[in-house]
Amino acid sequence: MLPFSSYKHVLIYYIAVAAVLFSGFFSYVVAPHRQEIEVGHVELVNLDSSLIENRKFSDFTNAYIPEITEHLTMARSGWLPLWSNNTELGRPLYQISGFSSAYLPSWVITRLVDGPWRFITTLSLGFCFLAGLFVLLFTREVGLSPIAGLIAGLGLATSPLFMYWLTFPMFPAVWCWAAGALWAVTRLAKRPDILGWGVLAFSGYSLLMTAYPQPVVFHAYLLGGYGLWLAYHQARVSRLELAKFLTLALSALVVGAALAFPVYRDLFILSSESARVAPDPSFFTMVLPKFASFTELVRFFVLSTIPEIFGNPIAPSFPFSYDGLSVTLIAIFFGVVALVTSFKETWGWWLAILIFCLLAFVHPLYVLGVKYFGFNLSRSTPLGSITLPLTIITAFGIDALARRTHHRQFSSAVFAGAAVALVVIAIGVAYGVSQHISIHWEIVIGMLLVTGLLIAQYDRYRPLFLMMALVLVLGMTSYPLMLKQDPAQIAMTSPLVEKVRENLPAGSRYAVAAPGISVLPPNLNATLDLSSVHSYNSLSSTRYHTLIKALGGEVQTYGRWNGAIDPDYAGTMFWMSNISLILSSGKLAHENLEFLSEESGIHLYRVVSRMGDSMQVTPPQLDMSSTKLVLDDPRGMVTNTPVKILDQGDVLEFEVNSSAPSVFLLSQKFHRDWEALAETNQGWQAAQTVEVNGVFQGVLVPQETRRVRLEFKPLARYAWIAHVFWIFLFVLIIFKFSQTFRRRVLERV
């Protein structure tokens, strides 16, 4: 028999089970598909047909991998990449979602792994592992039995929600750092020390730097309520204890937020200059559950409990829409057990579940949250937020089993939990049969076996049976949900990609002519080190929208997406955009386009006349104090072609020839954080940056200027301050605990 009486033992078991479950990622990476279609329908050799591909998770390919790729490879003048020219006529790189080295753990990961797929795999699995570990530490802090912490921790770390969304690490990050904050604030209430304070501060910081914003708001209310409950109990002890607890907790959160401030200042600027609109509340309630019939209600219930009886929910062949929002039989069983035996200890968590369910099912309540309580950040169902409360309730149910004192009462609780589990299975089977849906009977038999192992606890506590039940659930539910691919089979080129690369001059961009093409979606080009004028960006700026409108295109999905343009190929805005290559699904005819070739059904055209990456223009009249400038057509003015002598991504330097005050034009979108210097006979001096034609970056160049230097200076470049703080705090914690350990050893001697 394995010993389960010590948290040291169960920690070893936790690490061992997690290592076995995640061991497949030593040779594979988290990825929803091999992107062979996206790069141009390339045929892969030695294809592993056993690996599931699902293009529902398109953001992984079109947003996350390109962003991480740029963070890993983009030229930079300092320690942190800041600017990309691969999409959207240039834009700041995002420093959130854990994809940037601005977040300390991500900076560490970049030193340990190679490539964006390995990076995101490490990040996602790390959040899963830490989430369960924090639950384990929480159960130890509140005095629950070790087996309760082990089962509950593994249950969260390998939950359907986590496994289904491995390709979106900002989702597991929510529950990971919410669990970290839960443990830390509980520790602070019991024994205020630097470890609890530090973990609470880092959890708050991490929620801001890595997690999906809308669930963070839900968990802020959840943890805020829990914090008030702890404060109430501290107040019952003494006012001094209350003051100490509140001071430590609030100061930790303030420090965490302050250290994330540089990144959020830049994000605020992006948001304020974006074309993002405020949708009607119906936009947010669209994702909430709705039932037009009793059959739809039953289907929702089955998909929320045992969807795997109809197949693998993450496979495209699964007959229903599924978003990872389901609970396992173990959570159902011990939820019932806790309701019967531990309601006094868990009533607050049941209340939280009730509130989240009301928000999900009573749509006017959610609309109220959209208007007044911060539920308008993104579309997100609050049902996922019951995961952490249910995990804690599960832990209390297991603890009641391990510490049973009233045999008859607990036997009744076990049978009640088993009865509910059997009813859930029966409803699922009955629904499948009534709707003529194929049922995987081997999964049903496995679920009955899990229920049997749980029923076996009716007369005495059998921890080994609990572990067997958990392993069965992992095999039937969790493991099949993990989308993984062989990194060697992820397509990174194709004949079309190579043709584009061959005909794309350095520093220029390609564009897709309307109505668009089915390959090379926006942002994917950054993964392939190709520059495009198109974009997939929720915070694309109004300047970019101005450009796309001038180029005959549109930005769709509330300002997020542009995949094609229909420009005047002789127009000024097209000329200034430095587009050198046009991809078209059909034939084009224009004097400024020269046909090159056709590849994979895509026609390629070279643009004959374009501005290039920069131009120096001398207008007839120029106000050197202007901040905005309109140049109807620079081609009709006196121009010079600058010579680029330095390109570090966020630092650019050009040689210019200025016999009169002029405008230095950059074929790049204007941003307020670009600062300019001009070298004249008096040395380097600050130069005025200017917005040109509502879109482009310009610099007003004084007479007799020899060189122009531009530097991109967002506040995110100071994120290293947070790194220094966390490293110092970590060393301090290690030193303090080493001193404590040494003192205990000496006392024993």
- pLDDT at res. 102: 96
CB atoms inside a 10 Å sphere around CB 468: 15
To the nearest 10°, the Cα dihedral for 320, 326, 328, 332? -120
DSSP letter assigned to residue 10: H
Tell the residue number behind the tokens 């390959």, with chain if given. Answer: 519
- pLDDT at res. 749: 63
Query: Between the CA of residue 575 and those of 74, 509, 579, 619, 632, what are the distances in Å?
Result: 26, 12, 7, 18, 12
Q: Prior bond to 66 cis, omega within 30?
A: no
| pLDDT tens-digit map of 460-519 | 788 889 999 999 999 999 999 999 999 999 999 999 999 999 999 999 999 999 999 999
The mean pLDDT of 570-593, rounded to a whole number, is 96
Closest among 166, 126, 121 to 25, alpha carbons compared: 121
| The pLDDT of residue 697 is above 60 | yes
Tell the residue number behind the tokens 């928000």, with chain if given. Answer: 359
Helix (H/G/I), strand (E/B), else coil: 405 = coil
Q: Which two tokens stand for residue 308?
A: 């795997």
| pLDDT tens-digit map of 236-295 | 999 999 999 999 999 999 999 999 999 999 999 999 888 776 778 888 888 899 999 999
C-alpha Rg value of the chain to the nearest Å:
29
Query: Phi and psi (nearest 5°) for 523?
Result: 80, -30
| The pLDDT of residue 124 is above 90 | yes
Query: Between the CA of residue 711 and those of 652, 653, 696, what are the distances in Å?
Result: 7, 9, 16
- pLDDT at res. 406: 56
d(CA 235, CA 669): 55
- pLDDT at res. 48: 80
Annotated domain spans of the chain: 7-30+94-485, 493-607, 614-714, 719-748
| pLDDT tens-digit map of 141-168 | 999 999 999 999 999 999 999 999 999 9
User: Strands, E, within 428-522: which ranges?
Assistant: 484-485, 509-512
Residue type, 512: V
- pLDDT at res. 739: 81
| pLDDT tens-digit map of 34-91 | 999 999 988 887 788 889 999 999 999 999 999 999 999 999 999 999 999 999 999 9
Q: Is 337 left (phi over 0), alpha (psi -120 to 50) or beta?
A: alpha
